[in-house]
Structure 1
Amino acid sequence: MFYKTVGKYAATAIVATAFGAMPAVAETLSFAHFVPPQHTITSSTIEPLQAAIAKMSPDLEIQVYPGGELGAGPLEQYVRAVQGVADMVWGLQGYTSSQFPKTMLSELPGVKTDGQNGYDILWDAYESGQISGEFPATVPLALYLSEPNVFIMKDHDVRTPADVAGLKIRVSGSAAARVIEALGATAVQMPANEIYNSLQTGLIDGVVTGASAIGDFKLDEVANSYTTGVSLGQISFYVVMNKARYDGLSDKHRAAIDSIAGRALSKSAEDGWNARAEQVLDTIQSTGDNTVIELTADEAAAFSAITDPLADVIAAEIGAEDVLATMRGN
């Protein structure tokens, strides 16, 4: 009987020890986006996020679903996070501009100065509570701006506002649309993955977006003229996580995400976009078969006189003068 009792307690101790030694329950989070894996989003944003989380919590993994694997429509990215189709998503506020009217002010010409970081503009407004209401049911992990927008044209050289008048120009959202319309062109809103065919077939005459998109979407294969140094603003992006999913994680797993979420991840993303843009511009200038126009100060001023006043006009229209002041650092 003694030996049976000892054996019983020994077995119980072994089982308890075994369970006590078990690691924390592993978690896998899904991250969805709609662009190819080689897009700038991977090296600038996803990989740093994965690395930071792995360092703090190896049992928390991010599984990436690129190219629309969890849903093909780029315009539905935010909704996918809200509905839990994906735990995390990357997207553009401009694709659903009506949801982000105050956030979209960050895209307008003259809002971000040379001495500012785009991500600081957005996080200052978010942390003040001025734009946080535009991100319901999610936890923003990154908010940032692209490099300056440029003209990407097919068979049209742009040196003056008159060169744009009457053309059909693709834009990503409402802010850029107002800019293009102020210059006398027709704004055509469409996702980035539709640009190539639209430019190739003549559905549009050109594009306003950051130079990084030239390389990421192979637009140099269908465009042949580029104009830089124009006051056209930039594009805003987000990485958000379903709030219920975030709240349901263990303290350890939330801490792993928090270790990089916010300005740190946003800086990595924005730096990546700027570096990619510089690389792409160097490439198209060196090929010799493109027209690359760098506006002089006087030429740029002709555009700025038209585009820079728009931020104040639009902020007044939507009653967001305080948001604009915060973004400008006032």
Structure 2
Amino acid sequence: MTSTRIRTRVIAAIALGAVVLTGTGMARAQEVTLTVHHFLSAKAVNHARFIVPWARRIEAASGGRIAFEIYPSMTLGGAPPELYQQARDGVADIVWTVLGYTPGVFPRAEVFNLPSVHGGSAVVTNLAIQDLMTDQLAEDFQDIHPLLVHVHSGQALHTVDTEVRTIDDMRGLKLRVPSRSGTWMIEAMGADPVAMPASDLPQALSRGVLDGAFIPFEVALPLKVVDIAAAHTELADGRRFGTTTFLLAMNKDRYESLPDDLRAIIDAESGEALARSAGEAWDTFEPEVMAFATARGNAMIQVSAEDTQAFLETFQVVEDRWVEDATAHGLPAAALLAAAKAAVARHQQAEPDR
């Protein structure tokens, strides 16, 4: 199958969900309309396979009493780093954003950004995060109502000209990073980190501002990074360069103002159940985009087991740096890291096929 046909099928599949929901056709009168704001396009997997199905389930469960208006691509205004504040201040009822866009606001949840913590699949790591939400991570989310804290399937390295097969190939590359710990990882690899929202990637890569970026394949498709990049790199056994931690959050006052029965419907579609379905959306979509990149003729590189060890050593450098920094800021960093790793290991055993 040609790359054009693969792209057409993939885009067509996700475009089925690329709509604004209004709650029409439901049995009971609409009582509440909730706005949802995020920074990726309506063709992105988070919109079409995660947010839209989630909203539809809530609309159906409420019998039409809850309706959603979903605004992708920052169409309510502002920049991606402002999304958390928009939810906190009520500019939008619900937002989907990257925790790393607001450094220092989520110091505990940052542990799941560490490249040494990611469990190899979004489902595994999402469920591990849920294990820590009530106790170890709760203080990070006092100003909003968290519906889900989750990750994607892990970051591959997408490069425009350079084929990265060893850590020496990283030297001097200008690479986009979505988080503070990602900056540390890139520095430890001898490359130059450049912070920017994912939405700015296509132009930055096309103009040579960046040599590459750490993002999952599912983000690389709607942003056309798969078209711009010539090579895509994973570590041995498909291991990725860590992950990014995301937040689906609701304005606290808006949530608490809802009738008890409507809050219960939203609660039932939050937390662990949503963690699994969101993770499955990411884990299922990733191979589809990899197949498209392969059909397009891009270089699909998996670093050898021997050369992977050099990358893993940089992961340890990042981990040690995070523990030292977080401890200096009064967090029980070593205990938090141990709890995160233990939770990931527990779910890896429970989800052996992931």
The count of corresponding residues between Structure 1 and Structure 2 is 307
**Match for 1:205 among 200, 204, 211?**
211
Q: Does 1:65 align with 2:71?
A: yes
Aligned residue number for residue 119 of structure 1: 126
Q: Distance in 1 between matches of 2:143 and 2:199?
A: 27
Q: Does 1:313 align with 2:321?
A: yes
After TM superposition, where is structure 1 displaced by more than 6 Å over at least 4 residues in a row? none
Q: Does 1:297 align with 2:305?
A: yes
Structure 2 length-normalised TM: 0.82
Displacement after TM superposition at 1:121 (Å): 2.5
Aligned residue number for residue 38 of structure 1: 43
Displacement after TM superposition at 1:317 (Å): 2.1
Gaps of 5+ in 2: 1-26, 328-332, 344-354
Please, what is the CA RMSD of the aligned residues? 1.8
Q: Secondary structure at the match of 1:278?
A: helix
Q: Distance in 1 between matches of 2:40 and 2:318?
A: 31
Residues 81, 102 of structure 2: 8 Å contact kept: yes
**Match for 1:187 among 172, 190, 193?**
193
Displacement after TM superposition at 1:23 (Å): 5.8
Is 299-308 or 245-254 further displaced after alignment? 299-308
**Match for 1:88 among 94, 99, 119?**
94
Displacement after TM superposition at 1:264 (Å): 1.4
Q: Distance in 1 between matches of 2:28 and 2:300?
A: 57
1:131-157 Cα deviation digits (max 9, x unpaired): 222223211111111112111001111
Q: Does 1:244 align with 2:253?
A: yes
Residue identity matched to 2:86? R
Distance 1:102 1:136, change over 3 A: same
Displacement after TM superposition at 1:47 (Å): 2.2
Residues 96, 173 of structure 1: 8 Å contact kept: no
Residues 100, 179 of structure 2: 8 Å contact kept: yes
Displacement after TM superposition at 1:114 (Å): 4.1
Is 214-223 or 171-180 further displaced after alignment? 214-223
Structure 2 matches for 1:148-159, cutoff 5 A? 148-159=154-165
Aligned residue number for residue 325 of structure 1: 338
Aligned residue number for residue 75 of structure 1: 81
Residues 38, 96 of structure 2: 8 Å contact kept: yes
1:292-317 Cα deviation digits (max 9, x unpaired): 11122112122112223422431232
Residues 231, 304 of structure 1: 8 Å contact kept: no
1:197-243 Cα deviation digits (max 9, x unpaired): 00000011110121211112111221111111255211111100011
Structure 2 matches for 1:279-294, cutoff 5 A? 279-288=288-297, 290-294=298-302
Identity level (%): 30
Aligned residue number for residue 58 of structure 2: 53
Residues 231, 307 of structure 1: 8 Å contact kept: no
Aligned residue number for residue 242 of structure 2: 233
Residues 147, 210 of structure 1: 8 Å contact kept: yes
1:239-261 Cα deviation digits (max 9, x unpaired): 00011100000012101101111
Structure 1 length-normalised TM: 0.88
Residues 47, 72 of structure 2: 8 Å contact kept: no
Aligned residue number for residue 20 of structure 2: none
Q: Distance in 1 between matches of 2:147 and 2:98?
A: 14
Gaps of 5+ in 1: 1-21
Structure 2 matches for 1:251-290, cutoff 5 A? 251-288=260-297, 290=298
**Match for 2:31 among 26, 30, 33?**
26
Residues 154, 243 of structure 2: 8 Å contact kept: yes
Residue identity matched to 1:316? E
Q: Secondary structure at the match of 1:247?
A: helix
Q: Which has the larger radius of gyration?
A: 1
Q: Distance in 1 between matches of 2:57 and 2:289?
A: 28
Q: Distance in 1 between matches of 2:193 and 2:212?
A: 10
Residues 120, 240 of structure 2: 8 Å contact kept: no
Residues 34, 72 of structure 1: 8 Å contact kept: no
Q: Secondary structure at the match of 1:202?
A: coil
Aligned residue number for residue 137 of structure 1: 143
Residue identity matched to 2:87? A
Distance 1:200 1:245, change over 3 A: same
